[in-house]
Structure 1
Amino acid sequence: MLGRIAIHLSKDAGLARRLDAAIKLAGQSNAELVGVYPAGPSALGYDDPVIPSSLTKMLREREAEVQAEVKALFTEKTEKAGVKSQWRAPRGPAEESLALHARYCDLLVMSKVGKEAVNEFNASLPEAVIMAAGRPVLMIPAAGDISSIGKRVLFCWDHRREAARAFADAAPFLASCSELVVLSIDHDPADLRYNDIQAGDFAAFCAARGYPKPQETIKKSEGIGVGNVILNAATDHGSDLIVMGAYGHSRMRRWIMGGASEVLLGSMTVPVLLSH
């Protein structure tokens, strides 16, 4: 069960959706919701010595107004939902602040930050936080139905550490989901046979944990790419949550965190839980 959830707060196009999603999750788990609004100079961009002091003053005043707006929205929505909450406005760099607060929680809720964000200029912030936090990050899509999260789970399984970590981190969702699909892409069973891993081992692990019996499926990425295979599988199975590992050095790392990240984080229509 989720006991404490953090959410990245920033005045951007995705704020309302991720706040609604986080409040819903907190309410379902009777969890505390911690709103983290990065307010440090480096997050706002006015620590640059070339910026005139008059402009810096104007930026600070504008940011104070925006912070008050976001805090009021956060307070109003959490109180209306009856969710216990805390507001935090750390002064350090956004990546470090969010990663640090995530370590005091079970989950961090984020979404892609657009150029319209007032208190955040780092478009790659989610990717940086995912790699640094040591906690799972739930990415909320810009579009799509998020009324249900984690009832029909698609887990991307390649038998590696990062994927195993993501599966463990998804335990609060897996314990209550009604359907679990396990997707392997470009799978070569030779190494598993060599190490005496048997076909029913993953299902046995799920049974031991009290999770639903997994529907195991293998797909090829040739011609369409790994990202599209995952997105297509989520659509085919009606999944409302994708669970996957975030990789430090691999083809998957380059796909998720590199130039093709728009396939996953830009085109997703269901939430994605990522762990590193």
Structure 2
Amino acid sequence: MTYATVMVSLALDQSNEARLQVAGELAERFEAGIIGVAAARFAPPLYFTDGADAQGLIEEGEASVTRRLAGLEAQFRAAMKNRGGHAEWRSALDFPARFIMAQARCADIVVSGGQSPAFSDAFALASPKDLVMQAGRPLLVVPDRANWLDLRSALVAWKDTPEARRAVADALPLLRKARDVTIAGILERDDDRPVVMAGVTDVAAWLARHGITATARVSESTRNETTAAQLDKVAAEVGAGLIVAGAYGHSRFRELIMGGVTQHLVAQSARLVLLSH
């Protein structure tokens, strides 16, 4: 298994430098083609008008969005100019999540930025939570502070669920290139430690059959420590540049399980995160 096509989602009103850098490195590492995608819709003002004034306002707004999308294309092509592989651009006047989820059919992995809890505009950017839940492809979330594809140490956040199993399988190409891999079982309330340890040991053995040497461990939880805090602690201990995890929850409007770990991973600003649902 490899990544033959990398897709990178660009957004209006957000920094795109980090995701372009990581997506370009990812495409180079796997000698893959890369597709840049972006979409946006004109958002009418709260106090709208009608008639000819309304039509003029809509046309002016759509023209502005079109110019900004053209600016994103120029940024994408400049970033990929010296990468050597095939680069393609796709954009539309559409809701970003809807457009990008449709385009994801031709990619092996989608690269996106993280999401600030304070900013969400469905007209201008695709929420990584929406993408991972509905695109049907693994999502590599790149925080704005990242400046390279750091595969020195990779951490698999293990929970015995279909989502986590899918995430590890989707991450195999990256895990093969990582220098160190850790499989960490995160203890939650009422978890049986020997059972969790047996699970991470099985995953490590499965990875070994794919040529990947991994260390199995179970986190040591403390009272009142959240699952996200446990995961952060383990990631810091192993110096993880990449976290691999299953994405849990059914939509952005329903509370996510695992103590908000999925929400935490798309909003944290330190490490790359590969998520699968």
Same fold (TM over 0.5): yes
1:166-205 matches, within 5 Å, as: 166-186=167-187, 188-189=191-192, 192=195, 200-205=201-206
Aligned counterpart, 1:134: 136
Judge which range, 109-118 or 74-83, deviates more. 109-118
**Quick one: distance in 2 between partners of 1:91 and 1:203?**
45
Q: TM-score, normalised by structure 2?
A: 0.83
**1:44 partner SS:** coil
Residues 170 and 48 of structure 1, relative CA distance in 2, 3 Å threshold: farther
Q: Structure 1, residues 187-243: CA drift from partner, whole Å, max 9, x if none?
A: 5237949xxx57742332121111113242323264231112212221221111000
Judge which range, 247-256 or 130-139, deviates more. 247-256
Residues 228 and 253 of structure 1, relative CA distance in 2, 3 Å threshold: closer
**Quick one: distance in 2 between partners of 1:271 and 1:62?**
32
Residues 121 and 67 of structure 1, relative CA distance in 2, 3 Å threshold: closer
Aligned counterpart, 1:9: 10
Indicate conservation of the 8 Å contact 1:186/1:218, yes or no: yes
Indicate conservation of the 8 Å contact 1:46/1:56, yes or no: yes
**2:230 partner SS:** helix
1:28 to partner: Cα distance? 1.4
**2:249 partner SS:** coil
Aligned counterpart, 2:43: 45
1:96 to partner: Cα distance? 2.1
1:210-221 matches, within 5 Å, as: 210-220=211-221
Aligned counterpart, 2:156: 155
Residues 191 and 252 of structure 1, relative CA distance in 2, 3 Å threshold: farther
Aligned counterpart, 1:255: 260
Aligned counterpart, 1:54: 56
Residues 209 and 63 of structure 1, relative CA distance in 2, 3 Å threshold: same
State the one-letter code of the partner of 1:18. Answer: R
Indicate conservation of the 8 Å contact 1:78/1:84, yes or no: no
Structure 2: which 5+ residue stretches go unaligned?
Answer: none
Indicate conservation of the 8 Å contact 1:157/1:163, yes or no: yes
State the one-letter code of the partner of 1:255. Answer: G
Indicate conservation of the 8 Å contact 1:44/1:118, yes or no: no
1:54 to partner: Cα distance? 2.8
Residues 221 and 13 of structure 1, relative CA distance in 2, 3 Å threshold: farther
Aligned counterpart, 1:273: 274
What is the aligned counterpart of 1:94 among 72, 86, 96?
96
Aligned counterpart, 1:110: 112
1:59 to partner: Cα distance? 1.2
State the one-letter code of the partner of 1:272. Answer: V
**2:183 partner SS:** strand
Matched, 1:84 2:86: yes
Indicate conservation of the 8 Å contact 2:34/2:87, yes or no: yes
1:95 to partner: Cα distance? 1.6
1:171 to partner: Cα distance? 0.8
**Quick one: distance in 1 between partners of 2:130 and 2:45?**
21
1:58 to partner: Cα distance? 2.2
Q: Structure 1, residues 90-144: CA drift from partner, whole Å, max 9, x if none?
A: 444322221122232110001135688999446x72111110011100100122x
Structure 1: which 5+ residue stretches go unaligned?
Answer: none
Aligned residues: 264
Indicate conservation of the 8 Å contact 1:206/1:214, yes or no: no
Identity across the alignment (%) = 24
Aligned counterpart, 2:71: 69
**Quick one: distance in 1 between partners of 2:138 and 2:5?**
12
**2:39 partner SS:** coil
CA RMSD of aligned residues (A): 2.9
Aligned counterpart, 1:264: 265
State the one-letter code of the partner of 1:75. Answer: R
State the one-letter code of the partner of 1:252. Answer: I
Judge which range, 147-156 or 64-73, deviates more. 147-156
Indicate conservation of the 8 Å contact 1:6/1:33, yes or no: yes
Q: Structure 1, residues 223-266: CA drift from partner, whole Å, max 9, x if none?
A: 23111221222122111100000113686366145xxx3x4333
State the one-letter code of the partner of 2:225. Answer: I
